Structure 1
Amino acid sequence: MCSMLLNWLRFGKLNKDYSNTNVFEHSNKFYSVSENHIPQEIDIFTLNTLKYWDVNGAWNRPFASHPKKVLGTGELVIFGVDATKPYLEIGIVSAEGNELVHKADIKLDRSSLCHDIGVTSRYIAILDFPLIVDSNRLLRRGQLIKFDKEKYARIGIMPLYGDANSIKWFEVEPNITFHLINSFEDGHEVVLWGCRALDSIIPGPEDGLKESKLFSRCYEWRLNMKSGEVKEKYLTGPEQYMDFPMINASFTGIKNRYAYTQVVDPTASFAADIPKYGALAKLYFEEPCSEFPVGEAQQEELIRVEYHRFEKDVFCTGSAFVPKEGGVEEDDGWIITFVYNEDNGISQVHIVDTKKFSGEAVAKITIPCRVPYGFHGAFMPISF
């Protein structure tokens, strides 16, 4: 707390302007972003910072790391979480990137650390889960960020240009979900797929916490806009821990058949006190799992999962799906990922054909420097 106050006195801000969580493109411009500040426009060739992007002065608050484009319009749905009111605001940026055409205060009564949102052609899905930022708790020598599993969890469905009064809220089981895989409409239901855990690694796991609660599994919520009914279930088995999901971006907001994730290595993660990912997974949402793990009831209706595994002590980071130019099917493409071998210290880029997912990478490119484990990777085509 003292360091934050000193930062405020010296620099006029509580924290350094990090920009290390994600990279995204909008209107042919490229931005790096974190959670605590507005994005920075970057030169994609030199990585030099060009300027801050505040949408011509219309956005002056934190900017979360997972903005989503609206399929068909090219508009960008953005959002930002703050420790003081308004805790969460959502905005829509024009396809040209020069105008904030809509802004709404969601009027939450707590600062939920919302890292991702869902967007369909008609709705925005808001995650209000009990990973809570509380500066008053910090003053009492508690944790600034804490998961309180006794508090409520809910998902809000808001019309695309709606406001707080137009949100329909659905109570769900308390959980931690940092990343959504996709969201789409199915009849009267809005469906969300995400990577859901039962406890949080932020700011750090409690002693004795089991991996079954700490690491996330693929999960489904079905929210009926007509009846108010909620259906939720796991889609993957009890030892299939995964996060950092990817899909073919052309299917954002509509029903997709496939997704890809990084797969947690629990043993390596606990040994290093950071999540490590020793494999990639391909999820087949329309194909049932043919093998049911011990202790998992078949009525869970688990989906098929295919793996691309790395060698021992080899881990990936920053994975991204790249659609194949001229591809016909949703899974025509590759996964590009940074890979680090902890035994020999070599960093590589691996390219995996998503049609031959469990096979050898089609390319392994050794790079001349270490790429540290990080957060998100992105691939954006550039015309020369």
Structure 2
Amino acid sequence: MPQEVDISTQETLGDWELTKSWNRTFTSHPKRAPYSGELVIMGVDGQKPYFEVGVLSADGKKIKTRVDANYNRCTFCHDIRVTEKYNVIIDFPLVVDMNRLFNGGPLIRFEKEQFARIGVMPRYGDANSIRWFDVATCSVFHLFNSYEDDDEVVARGYQAREAIIPGPELGLNKFEWFSKGFKKIKSSDGTNNEDLEEGLLFARTYEWRLNMKTGEAKEKYLTGNEFAMDMPFINETYTGLKSKYGYTQVVDSIASFNTGIVKYGGLAKLYFDEKECENFALGKEKLQQMVKIEYHMLPKNAFCSGAVFGPKVGALEEDAGWIIAFVHDEDTNKSEVNNLTELLTWFCYFDECPKSRKY
């Protein structure tokens, strides 16, 4: 449940006062709607209604609308996106099934043979107003942003061929499964020609263009196979609006492969309006046009998480600001989340050298 925090003291005050009006899970990634300041939220449940969308007033004192999206399954989903007029919701087949659990199966399973779709609904719409777009089945946990572009709603996020949650099926070697999954892919379609089990967890930037006029969905990769990435974020001033830049955490595939645990060894800045060609050198693969990426890698055995963008006050440029991330150096064992004085936080302009400071 969301907590209320005193901004001046950072003291936790307790459960959010509207908890009684929202008696279900609360998304980890609520979104503030452009211009209105309203907060768009969602929550899932293991029983009907499986998925609900809510809109909070800008002052946070009232739930203006609460809608059952009429899902026919409970999906493990914790992200939602907005545009100027719409809420963007996802229905991908990482399914929570209580009946399966009662019958001896896993509670959560990625059902890769099932459908995937993205819904676009008016801000205060109901289930009947949702425009659904069928898309290629994949695993999606996090979205960069979404915005309106003429007749299209554009959504960008990270997708992989397999879900990292809940892990391997019973009986499979956990370390081997994770290690294979993190292995670097070699082809533009996200697979390795030699072994289809390799690179299943290799997440890449992806774009869906949803045409509200024709009902067509166009989708494509925006990044190649140099690094897997996830945990995207932007300058939140541009939430729901067209943004030129995105930021993300970069997976250290070797460290992840060797340990069987996903580790982020750097940060990246994506230039969505600038293109570069990447060559997949296997067989018949050709040059692929991808977005420009600028990488900032951490020292060996240093890994980051929880990165956010802090905009510079008064700046006009979208990318004027700092990236702030928790960084843990495994060689020195510096930084612990539960001890703020030991946090190693990375501040940098992307046009300057990275600098580390201890706080």
Per the normalisation by structure 2, the TM-score is: 0.87
Instruction: Quote how far apart the aligned CAs of 1:193 are.
Output: 0.4
Q: Distance in 1 between matches of 2:55 and 2:3?
A: 18
Q: 2:151 aligns with which of 188, 193, 215?
A: 188
Q: Secondary structure at the match of 1:210?
A: helix
Is the 1:56–1:99 Cα contact (8 Å) retained in structure 2?
Answer: no
RMSD: 1.7
1: CA distance between counterparts of 2:19 and 2:181? 47
1:151 maps to a residue whose letter is: Q
1:178 aligns with 2:170: no
Alignment of 1:1-384 (within 5 A): 38-44=1-7, 48-55=11-18, 57-205=20-168, 207=172, 208=177, 209-211=180-182, 212-295=199-282, 297=285, 300-347=288-335, 348-356=344-352, 359-361=353-355, 364-367=356-359
* 1:239 positional shift: 3.3
Q: For 2:101, what is the secondary structure of its paired residue?
A: helix
Q: CA deviation at 1:298?
A: 5.0
Instruction: Please identify, of 133-142 and 121-130, the stretch whose mean Cα deviation from structure 2 is larger.
Output: 133-142
Q: Given residue 296 of structure 2, which amino acid in structure 1 is its aligned partner?
A: H
> Whole-Å Cα distance in 2 between the matches of residues 240 and 298 of structure 1?
19
Match of 1:378 in 2: none
The unaligned stretches of length 5 or more in structure 2 are 183-198, 336-343
- Identical pairs, percent: 51
1:161 counterpart letter in structure 2: Y
2:194 equivalent in structure 1: none
- How far, CA to CA, are the matches of 1:185 and 1:299 in structure 2? 29
CA distance in 2, matches of 1:210, 1:204: 10
Relative to the length of structure 1, the TM-score reads 0.81
Which 10-residue stretch deviates more, 233-242 or 267-276? 267-276
- 2:278–2:290 contact (8 Å) kept in structure 1: no
Report how many aligned residue pairs link the two structures. Answer: 326
Per-residue Cα deviation, 1:299-354 (whole angstroms, up to 9, x for no partner): 64211111001111111111110001111111001101111111111232111112
Distance in 1 between residues matched to 2:134 and 2:278, nearest whole Å: 32
Offset of residue 273 of structure 1: 2.9
Q: Which amino acid in 2 is paired with 1:350?
A: W
Alpha-carbon offset, residue 197 of structure 1: 1.0
Tell me the distance in 2 between the aligned counterparts of 1:123 and 1:274.
36
How far did residue 101 of structure 1 move? 0.5
Which structure 1 residue ranges, 5 or more long, are not aligned? 1-37, 368-384
Distance 1:298 1:96 in 2: 52
